Structure 1
Amino acid sequence: MSVWKQDLYFWQLVHYYVTERGFRLLYEKNKEVWLEDENPKPKRIIRIARRDFDWQNQLRKDVTETVKRAELLRKQLKQKKIAGENIYISMYPPVDSWDDLTRPFYLGKKQQTMMKMVLIPSGLEEKRSVTSGELSKDLIPAFPIYEDIDMAEVVIGRLKREVRQHTKKKEEEERSFFLYGKPIATYVLLIMIAVMFYIVEQNGGSTHVLTLIEFGAKYNPAILDGEWWRFFSSMFLHIGFIHLFMNSLALFYLGGAVERMYGTSRFVLIYFIAGLIGSISSFAFNEQVAAGASGAIFGLFGALLYFGIAQPKLFFRTMGMNVLVILGINLVFGFVMPMIDNGAHIGGLVGGFLAAALVQLPKERGRPRQIFYLLGTIILALSLFWLGHIKEDQQMSSLLSLQLAQEYMQEGRFDEAYPLIETVLEEENDNPEAYFLMAYLEYEFGDYEKARESLLKTVELRPSFHEAHYNLALTHSRLGNTEEAIASLEEAIALAPEEEEYQALYDDIMTD
């Protein structure tokens, strides 16, 4: 059989696997192609080579190198296992014995890569009935036979073009999933978030709780009073520069990717639905003041996960494992760090997935199940909102109340701080910080006797509270109890000898 007939059969076989069977072309050069079948597990690859070998040692060397390349390919494709065929289109087999090369070859620590050699020699009958390994299941047809070399060369040229055109078209179709839109809304959101951060910083500071509440942070008591708009406004506020920087960086990369995939209008819906679900989830599970775009950003992860379900092959071949690893790290980090609002993160993640399933990818046709995703989104939002309402008695923690009271006191708003501390003491009569702050207010109000009682209760609950001993000394001094003042100062100095004002007050009292 002529060399050109071997070349023709090579391209007929490649053309069949690429255009008829849908195999993905991984590599093509010098009459050698590597093909990938994305459907089966383990992953199946086929290497087809137009080669002639005189001796079995030449064939053995090529087989060995092929298995090594297949193992590298397995790692590049991030597959646990790969099984495939190494097909040779040959004029004739080696003249010496090569039967042992027909056994499967394995490579990898756990033999994750397996390649079986198939040598198709020159005979026409062998080419018409390939029965080796997985090839027998491929139903390879009997390709047309050409006796005219000129006609065969024309056919080879056509087959090459069709294989390459088919591959290019498939690549362009896949690329189009990531280039549907432009990240216009992402940049607008980043600008709005930066502007809000600047405004908050100029009006009290982004780490000041009262300022955050004033500008629309998620504050459960206000939401219970009907300020539902905080579910959205909190998405544009951030607590400190590090929080702003990390969320902006995540939004820049994730938002850009999702908006390119889904388009601007779909992206906006996904972002705000995820942000809303994340905020409501924070309302249900987190009693602290909260702010940030984290819920919406985790919703972008949810949109990428939906893409992974809609286009699993493309997802895992491109971004899949990176997305899953980064998402996993963020979720674990959220569970480990107590100050992170994991309720908002998980709520946003689920909300983003539901929103993406609702709006669908641009090239997806409308499906009846969209109504179920819509109902699921509504039910989830209402359920979380209801859960936040039935936990009304838990919506103001003692920690938050005392934090707000301290900020009121720093601003001289003592009348607003008093009821917050009073509420804490009604619910927790063993809270030394609450008694300490109450004593401070009573001292400012001129009720020194009550301040003394509150401070005595403070040091009883926490004897190591040196600030309370110092304030108790001040109160005793106001009441004219010099001996008690000296005793309290001695206790404060013993607990915190580095505090110079303690020693200064002690010296003043002793000299009087």
Structure 2
Amino acid sequence: MSSQQRETVVSVPLTPTRSDLYWRRIFNKYDRDNDGRISYLELKNIIESREYDHDLPDNVVEKIMELGDRDNSGYLDFAEFVEMMHNPDLKAVFGHFVARYVHSIIPNRDPVDTTDGIYEEEYSCWPPAICMILISLIEIVLFCYDASQGKTDATGPVAQIFIYNPHKRQEAWRFLTYMLVHVGVVHLVVNLLVQLFLGVPLEMVHRWWRVALVYVAGVAAGSLATSLTDPKVYLAGASGGVYALIAAHIATIIMNWAEMEFAIVQLLVFLLLTIVDIGTAVYDRYWRHLQQNIGYVAHLAGAVAGLLVGIGVLRNLEKRKWEKRLWWAAVVIYFSLMLAGVLANIFWYSHFQ
């Protein structure tokens, strides 16, 4: 094998698709005197510190510096550093020497966390986050129509068509459309604020259709679970979908743990929010015996669905082996639970009498 062929084998691409934030962190690590520039000595020290001085002699380091130093200042500023790292000529000229150089300046994850914060860079206003906004507008319009008829307590003409009515389970659309019905202004406003606050940020990273799947999955799971555990309970409100959004945030934190800043803080906040709300509803009903029209089962089922579907459909920026296994587990569990709920509603006649 010729020398040129050997160089081709050991070379690595020099056009990694990384953001400026990624390169800025690497640049700052090796800008030892924090003057915003990498000098020849700093470049040489980088190589020597990784024991590559025998592979990269002084004249090679000088050539690398000459290629990157566009303004001949004797230093690499950040723009020159990034341009150098993306310059295809670097690989062609220096072969495996440059490949080793690149390995020397791109640190492993242990000393420098170069993936942390990548998730936050994915926020984008295009395509626009319209799903939660459109759903919220529909809920407002339908509520206002019933209010114009003097009905704001889910007894208006629209509410009677869309509310989940346990005595009309054969009207299958009610398992989803109850999310459009609200009992009073406070109920409507709270659901709107929470779903917009939680849903829009998810859409900005994961796109509207993924968030729509999570939301609808939570709504469907909420009604199916309630029909089995409280077969005589009516359902109104988007709480199943809202809790699915809360759990979807937990799902995306789990699947993008290394790519998110302050992941542990975010996870604890969403877990605390979910546990406190559901726990309070359960405590009030079974220990304080308060008669409240809060479908905590729909909340809990929506959260479970949001977690499972979130793991299944939301974006995973850096796929790892254990995450693939978790993905399959989430998909199998979700479809198994939903299938069981549907079949029970169809064939378990005695339960609903």
TM-score in same-fold range (> 0.5): yes
- Aligned partners of 2:28, 2:222: CA distance in 1, in Å? 41
State the shift of 1:368 in Å: 9.1
Counterpart of 2:109 in structure 1 is none
C-alpha contact 1:277 1:351 (8 A) present in aligned 2: yes
Larger Rg: 1
Match of 1:190 in 2: 136
- Normalising by structure 2, report the TM-score: 0.62
State the AA in 1 paired with 2:246.
Answer: F
Q: Which amino acid aligns with 1:162?
A: F
- Whole-angstrom CA distance in 2 between matches of 1:19 and 1:273: 36
Q: Are 1:284 and 1:391, in contact at CA under 8 Å, matched by a contact in 2?
A: no
AA of the residue aligned to 1:141: E
The alpha-carbon distance between structure 1 residues 364 and 206, as it changes in their structure 2 partners (threshold 3 A), is: farther
Q: Report the alpha carbon displacement of residue 262 of structure 1 after superposing the two structures with TM.
A: 1.4
1:157 aligns with 2:76: yes
Query: 2:167 is matched with which residue?
Result: 221
1:343 corresponds to 2:297: yes
The C-alpha deviation readout for 1:468-510, integer Å capped at 9, x for no partner, is: xxxxxxxxxxxxxxxxxxxxxxxxxxxxxxxxxxxxxxxxxxx
Aligned in 2, Cα 1:354/1:157: closer, same or farther, shift over 3 Å?
same
In structure 1, the partner of 2:234 is 289
For 1:252, the equivalent position in structure 2 comes to 196
* Secondary structure, counterpart of 1:178 in structure 2: coil
Q: CA deviation at 1:234?
A: 0.2
- Check conservation: 1:302, 1:350, Cα contact below 8 A: yes
Partner of residue 31 from structure 1, selected from 9, 30, 33: 33
- Paired with 2:173 and 2:22, the residues of 1 have a C-alpha distance of 55
CA drift at 1:359: 2.4
Matches of 1:393 and 1:202 in 2, distance apart?
A: 40
Q: Is the 8 A contact 2:215 2:244 kept in 1?
A: yes
Matched, 1:381 2:325: no
Q: Is the CA contact (8 Å cut-off) linking 2:117 and 2:259 kept in structure 1?
A: no
1:272 aligned counterpart, secondary structure = helix
Q: Which structure shows the higher strand fraction?
A: 1
Query: Given that residues 182 and 237 in structure 2 are in contact (C-alpha distance below 8 angstroms), is that contact kept between their aligned partners in structure 1?
Result: yes
CA change 1:267–1:31 in 2 (3 A) is same
Question: Quick one: distance in 1 between partners of 2:172 and 2:205?
Answer: 31
Counterpart-to-counterpart distance in 1, 2:350 and 2:295: 20
Task: State the shift of 1:269 in Å.
Answer: 1.7
1:266 alignment partner, one of 196, 204, 210: 210
1:240/1:383 CA distance change after superposition, 3 Å: same
Match in the other structure for 1:178: 123
Q: Hey, what does 1:277 align to over in structure 2? A: 221
d(CA) in 1 for partners of 2:229, 2:77? 64
Which of the pair has the greater relative contact order for Cα pairs under 8 Å at 6+ separation?
2
TM superposition score normalised by structure 1:
0.44
Q: Give the match's secondary structure for 1:157.
A: strand
SS in 2 for 1:307: helix
| Change over 3 Å in CA distance of 1:388–1:328 after alignment to 2 | same
CA contact (8 A) 2:246 2:274 kept: yes
In structure 1, give the amino acid aligned to 2:81: E
CA distance in 2, matches of 1:128, 1:27: 15
Percent identity over the alignment is: 17
Question: Relative to structure 1, is the Cα distance of residues 296 and 364 closer, same or farther in structure 2, using a 3 angstrom cutoff?
Answer: farther
Q: Which runs of 5+ in 1 are unaligned?
A: 1-17, 34-123, 130-139, 397-512
Cα distance between partner residues in 2 of 1:171 and 1:312: 8
CA distance, structure 2, for counterparts of residue 156 and residue 204 of structure 1? 75
8 Å Cα contact 1:307/1:315 also seen in 2: no
The one-letter code of the counterpart of 1:272 is V
Residue 343 and residue 172 in structure 1: after superposition, are their counterparts in 2 closer, same or farther (change >3 A)? closer
Q: How many matched pairs?
A: 275
Deviation at 1:395, TM superposition (A): 5.1
| Aligned partner (choices 131, 146, 149) of residue 200 of structure 1 | 146
Q: Structure 2: which 5+ runs fail to align?
A: 1-20, 36-44, 86-105, 107-111, 286-291
- Equivalent in the alignment of 1:87: none
Question: How many angstroms does 1:208 deviate by?
Answer: 5.1
Contact kept? 1:274, 1:352, Cα under 8 Å? yes
